[in-house]
């Protein structure tokens, strides 16, 4: 991977990021809630209204406000939260690591297990093992995440079941307490995503196994391990990487939203959830904007990784 290639990819990312932040600004801020009337009392005069609008910056021209928004995102100086008065950036810095620590094990395990099961099902395509794995994954996809989370909580976290783990909370001080709090959410995340992952990876691997060059390898005496773990896996890296990279932003924000609200964990998802319900605009602006930026970043890194795994991409 050459330096010009990386810079060109990064340059392509800039207009994309501008577009993403522009749309989120348009939807969240320009067409978003107007706080003027929350802040002023009853029967305001024209001057009072104008005064408040001026202090909120509503009277400035549209493009200038957008420019300020981009500047805020760039400098990470995101203002103060409406509800707590804390700087938004320090809220994010506090909660983001918690969300990552919460979601990462489940995300990695869910994808690895899905890949393993998908590979197994693809190899035994049409046999009973394939059918078993595929029907189990349909069942997994059909069960609501609510049912999975609540039954896991009952089974593992209450006196009705094993009562081994906490139902809610996040008092992590070391590795032991980390496992104590992260185990049940991880299990829940794996179970929720495993069905989709398995089906996705099976479809990719089954395609790869049918390819001509795999037949060539068989004709030259390659065993199943060499076929699957060297050639099928390496060839399927492009779709696999794409899926993983594209799901990173969703997992960080929305995936943790689900888990954090059910397990009462103070991560970025819970903060976002509360900001939506209370109309805390500075936080929403920051989260939406940064998610967009994160997405574009993931896309750009994805493009760069293509040229590493596939010799046909790159060099141009």
Partner 1 sequence: MSCHALKVNDLSVWFETDSGRRQVVDHISFSINAGESTGLVGESGCGKTMTALAILGLLPTSGVGVSAASIEINGKDISSLNAAQRRAVLGRDIAMIFQQPGTALDPVFTIGHQISAVYRRHFGGSKKHLWQIMLDSLEAVGFSRAEKIASAYPHQLSGGMRQLAMIAMATVCNPVVIIADESTTALDNSTKSLILKQLERLQLQHKTAILLISHDLAMVRQSCRNVLVMYCGRLLERTDCQSLYSHAQHPYSAGLLSCIPQVSANRPPRISAIPGQVPSATDLPSGCHFAPRCIRVKPQCQQSVPHFDSEDDRAVACFRPLS
Contacts of 261 (CB under 8 A, 6+ apart): 269, 270, 273
221 binds partner 1 (CB under 8 A): yes
At what angle are helices 268-278 and 281-309 packed, to 10 degrees?
A: 140
128 binds partner 1 (CB under 8 A): no
Write each residue from 295 to 314 as x if it is in contact with partner 1 (CB under 8 A), else as -, in one continuous string. --------------xxxx--
225 binds partner 1 (CB under 8 A): no
4 vs 311, which CB is nearer to partner 1?
311
220 binds partner 1 (CB under 8 A): yes
For partner 1, the binding residues in 230-249 under the rule CB under 8 A are 231, 234-235
DSSP bridge pairs for 80: 87
222 binds partner 1 (CB under 8 A): yes
The stretch among 71-79, 212-220, 266-274, 291-299 that binds partner 1 (CB under 8 A) is 212-220
**CB of 251 closer than 8 Å to CB of 83:** no
Which single residue is written with the structure tokens 């954090």? 260
189 vs 305, which CB is nearer to partner 1?
305
71 binds partner 1 (CB under 8 A): no
Cα four-point dihedral sign 166, 170, 173, 176: positive
The stretch among 24-32, 33-41, 138-146, 217-225 that binds partner 1 (CB under 8 A) is 217-225
The two three-digit tokens of residue 240, written as one number: 């696999």
Given 211, 229, 254, 278, the residue binding partner 1 (CB under 8 A): 211
Q: What is the spatial distance between Cα 13 and Cα 16, in angstroms, rounded to a whole number?
A: 5
215 binds partner 1 (CB under 8 A): yes
131 binds partner 1 (CB under 8 A): no
219 binds partner 1 (CB under 8 A): yes
85 binds partner 1 (CB under 8 A): no
Given 71, 127, 131, 168, the residue binding partner 1 (CB under 8 A): 127
Which single residue is written with the structure tokens 């760039």? 74
30 vs 234, which CB is nearer to partner 1?
234
Contacts of 217 (CB under 8 A, 6+ apart): 226, 227, 231
Cα four-point dihedral sign 12, 13, 14, 16: positive
Three-state helix/strand/coil letters over 159-211: CCCCCCCCCCCCCCCCHHHHHHHHHHHHHHHHHHHHHHHHHHHHHHHHHHHCC
216 binds partner 1 (CB under 8 A): yes
Residues found near partner 1 in the complex (CB under 8 A): 126-127, 211-213, 215-223, 226, 231, 234-235, 309-312
């Amino acid at each position: 991977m050459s330096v010009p290639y990386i810079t060109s990819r990064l340059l392509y990312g800039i207009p994309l990021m501008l577009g993403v932040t522009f749309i989120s600004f348009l939807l969240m801020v320009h067409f978003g809630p107007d706080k003027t009337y929350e802040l002023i009392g009853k029967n305001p005069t024209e001057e009072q209204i104008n005064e408040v609008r001026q202090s909120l910056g509503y009277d400035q021209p549209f493009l200038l406000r957008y420019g300020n928004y981009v500047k805020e995102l760039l400098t990470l100086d995101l203002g103060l939260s409406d509800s707590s008065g804390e700087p938004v950036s320090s809220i994010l810095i506090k909660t983001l690591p918690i969300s990552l620590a919460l979601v990462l094990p489940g995300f990695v395990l869910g994808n690895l297990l899905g890949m393993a099961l998908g590979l197994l099902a693809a190899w035994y395509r049409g046999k009973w093992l394939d059918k078993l794995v595929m029907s189990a994954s349909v069942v997994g996809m059909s069960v609501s995440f609510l049912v999975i989370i609540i039954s896991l909580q009952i089974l593992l976290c209450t006196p009705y079941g094993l009562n081994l783990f906490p139902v809610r909370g996040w008092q992590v001080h070391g590795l032991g307490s980390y496992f104590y709090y992260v185990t049940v959410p991880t299990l829940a995340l794996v179970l929720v995503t495993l069905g989709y992952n398995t089906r996705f990876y099976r479809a990719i691997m089954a395609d790869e196994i049918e390819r001509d060059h795999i037949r060539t390898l068989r004709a030259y005496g390659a065993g199943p391990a060499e076929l699957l773990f060297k050639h099928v896996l390496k060839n399927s890296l492009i779709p696999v990487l794409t899926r993983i990279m594209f799901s990173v932003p969703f997992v960080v924000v929305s995936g943790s939203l689900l888990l954090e609200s059910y397990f009462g964990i103070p991560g970025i998802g819970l903060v976002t959830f509360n900001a939506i319900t209370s109309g805390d605009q500075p936080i929403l602006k920051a989260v939406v904007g940064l998610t967009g930026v994160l997405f574009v970043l993931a896309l750009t890194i994805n493009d760069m990784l293509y040229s590493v795994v596939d010799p046909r991409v790159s060099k141009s």
